[in-house]
Structure 1
Amino acid sequence: MSIVLESTSATIRRNFWNGVWRVMKRKPSRMVGVVIILGFAFMGVFGPMFFPAQLPDNPDAITQPPSWEHWFGTDPQGRDVLALVITGSRYVLLSAAVTALITVVLGTAIGLYSGFKRGRWDTVLMRITDMKLTIPGLPLLLVLATVWKFGNPIQMGLVLGLLGWGGVARAVRAQTLSLRERGFIEAARGLGLSTTHIIGKELLPSMAPYIAMNMLIAVTGAVYAQVGLFFLGVLPYESDNWGVMLNLAVFQAGAMITPTALGYLLAPLLAILLLTLGIVLVVDAMDEIFNPRLREE
Structure 2
Amino acid sequence: MTVVPTTGTATPVAAPVKRRRLRFVANPKATVGLVILGFFALVAVIGPWIAPYDPSGRSNDLLQGPSAAHWFGTTHLGQDIFSQVLVGTRSVMVVGFVAGIVATILSILVGVTSGYLAGAGSEVLSALSNVFLVLPALPLMIIITSTLPETGTLTIALVIGLTSWAWGARVLRAQTLSLRGRDYVEAARATGEKSSRIILFEILPNLTAVIASGFVGTVIFAVTLEITLAFIGIGAGGDWNWGTVLYWAQSQQALAQGAWWWFVPAGLAIALLGTALSLVNFGIDEFVSPRLRGGGKTNVKTADGHTVRMRVGFTPVLATKARSEGRETP
Same fold (TM > 0.5): yes
1:14/1:66 CA distance change after superposition, 3 Å: farther
Q: What's 2:278 paired with? A: 280
The structure with the largest alpha-carbon Rg is 2
Deviations for 1:236-289, whole angstroms, at most 9, x for unmatched residues? 64321111111101112x122122x21111111111110111111122222454
1:146 aligns with 2:147: yes
1:39/1:163 CA distance change after superposition, 3 Å: same
**What's the offset of the Cα at 1:159?**
0.5
Deviations for 1:214-253, whole angstroms, at most 9, x for unmatched residues? 111111100110110111123464321111111101112x
The residue type equivalent to 1:146 in the other structure is T
RMSD: 2.6
**What's the offset of the Cα at 1:20?**
2.0
**Structure 1: distance between partners of 2:47 and 2:210:** 31
**Structure 1: distance between partners of 2:92 and 2:149:** 17
Moved segments of 4+, more than 4 Å: 11-15, 287-295
Higher relative contact order (CA 8 A, sep 6+): 1
Structure 1 length-normalised TM: 0.86
**Structure 2: distance between partners of 1:294 and 1:197:** 33
**Structure 2: distance between partners of 1:35 and 1:221:** 20
**What's the offset of the Cα at 1:18?**
4.6
Aligned pairs, number: 283
Q: What's 1:256 paired with? A: 255
**Structure 2: distance between partners of 1:101 and 1:40:** 18
The residue type equivalent to 1:166 in the other structure is A
Structure 2 length-normalised TM: 0.78
**What's the offset of the Cα at 1:139?**
4.0
**Structure 1: distance between partners of 2:24 and 2:226:** 33
**What's the offset of the Cα at 1:71?**
3.0
**Structure 2: distance between partners of 1:196 and 1:50:** 47
Q: What's 1:186 paired with? A: 186
Question: Do the aligned partners of 1:149 and 1:235 also contact (CA within 8 Å) in 2?
Answer: no
Question: Do the aligned partners of 2:88 and 2:242 also contact (CA within 8 Å) in 1?
Answer: yes
1:135/1:294 CA distance change after superposition, 3 Å: closer
Question: Do the aligned partners of 1:72 and 1:267 also contact (CA within 8 Å) in 2?
Answer: yes
Q: What's 1:98 paired with? A: 98
Q: What's 1:21 paired with? A: 22
Question: Do the aligned partners of 1:94 and 1:154 also contact (CA within 8 Å) in 2?
Answer: yes
**Structure 2: distance between partners of 1:196 and 1:275:** 37
**Structure 1: distance between partners of 2:280 and 2:236:** 34
Deviations for 1:59-94, whole angstroms, at most 9, x for unmatched residues? 332111223443322122222212111101111111
The residue type equivalent to 2:101 in the other structure is L
Deviations for 1:27-66, whole angstroms, at most 9, x for unmatched residues? 2x43221111111111112211223894363533211122
The residue type equivalent to 1:24 in the other structure is V
Q: What's 2:307 paired with? A: none
1:138/1:282 CA distance change after superposition, 3 Å: closer
Q: What's 2:121 paired with? A: 121
**Structure 2: distance between partners of 1:201 and 1:62:** 61
Question: Do the aligned partners of 1:237 and 1:244 also contact (CA within 8 Å) in 2?
Answer: no
**Structure 2: distance between partners of 1:263 and 1:293:** 43
**Structure 1: distance between partners of 2:78 and 2:128:** 50
Aligned with 1:266 (options 241, 264, 267): 264
Question: Do the aligned partners of 1:65 and 1:72 also contact (CA within 8 Å) in 2?
Answer: yes
**Structure 1: distance between partners of 2:199 and 2:157:** 27
The residue type equivalent to 1:148 in the other structure is P
SS in 1 for 2:254: coil
**What's the offset of the Cα at 1:146?**
3.1
**Structure 2: distance between partners of 1:88 and 1:37:** 15
Q: What's 1:230 paired with? A: 230
**Structure 1: distance between partners of 2:56 and 2:227:** 24
1:112 aligns with 2:112: yes
The residue type equivalent to 1:57 in the other structure is G
Q: What's 2:5 paired with? A: none
Question: Do the aligned partners of 2:64 and 2:74 also contact (CA within 8 Å) in 1?
Answer: yes
Q: What's 2:83 paired with? A: 83
Q: 1:211-230, aligned counterparts within 5 Å?
A: 211-230=211-230
More helix by share: 1
- Percent of pairs with identical residues: 33
Question: Do the aligned partners of 1:20 and 1:289 also contact (CA within 8 Å) in 2?
Answer: no
Where does structure 1 lack aligned partners over 5 or more consecutive residues?
1-7
SS in 2 for 1:60: coil
Where does structure 2 lack aligned partners over 5 or more consecutive residues?
1-9, 294-298, 300-330
1:141/1:25 CA distance change after superposition, 3 Å: closer
